[in-house]
A and B are shown apart, each in its own frame.
Chain A
């Protein structure tokens, strides 16, 4: 009974956060709502026996990435105070259509696919198992990601500094 209640509570919190991101005008409200969603998702990861991902979700997503978002939001805040919240009406209708179609498709797959073979839960993955796989079988993509992070870092510095000289 407790897992069901926890799942329900966490998914409601996650959906509330996502809904607030859609509805609130101030992007700072949206960022805080998104933090709420991320933390709820971390709770769901714990329920799925993925403590490593849950911790990373809180540290990297709710911590680092969202702080970056808040920082930039406060930089560019002045521009949000006037003008419409959403784009023009045709875009809105098309977006509603696309979103509804995609949700129908995804929910259809999720509800109708035969997942009975996957019913036996019980994968336990601790940090050791993840580390062993990353540093053996997945070593090459891991190194590639470190190169990507370096490239992104250099790129960000170049992009953010460009305007200052002129």
Chain B
């Protein structure tokens, strides 16, 4: 029997993999994809809790809002990346430290 716990553990694994990508990868696009993976793990939690809570659609509405916010976040972040690429000609997060002086 598949229960809430299975979904929670799966979401935890996905979240941690996303976090790992964010912390270790050099390519900024891959870092952003790690963030998307973390948001997806959160969404899976929301929908799973909504399903096992019995009635109501609150969790699904939360998930919906998260999807919209992820879209806005991705668009803005990718525009910033393009801007960075124009300035530095690369997007390796290790080497972008102009603000640090």
Contact = CB atoms under 8 A, between A and B. Distances in A.
Interface of A: 3-4, 7, 11, 14-15, 18-19, 21-22, 27, 30-31, 34, 37-38, 41, 44-45, 47-50, 52-53, 56-57, 60-61, 64-65, 68-69, 72-73, 75-76, 79-80, 83-88, 91-92, 94-96, 98-100, 102-103, 106-107, 109-111, 115, 118-123, 125, 129-130, 133-134, 138, 141, 145, 148-149, 152-153, 155-156, 159-160, 162-163
A14 B7 CA distance: 12
Interface string B1-45: 111111111111111111111011111011011101100100110
Contacts of B89: 79
Nearest to B68: A145
Contacts, number: 240
A25 B64 CA distance: 31
Contacts of B70: 61, 65
Given A34-B36, A159-B79, A4 B21 contact: no
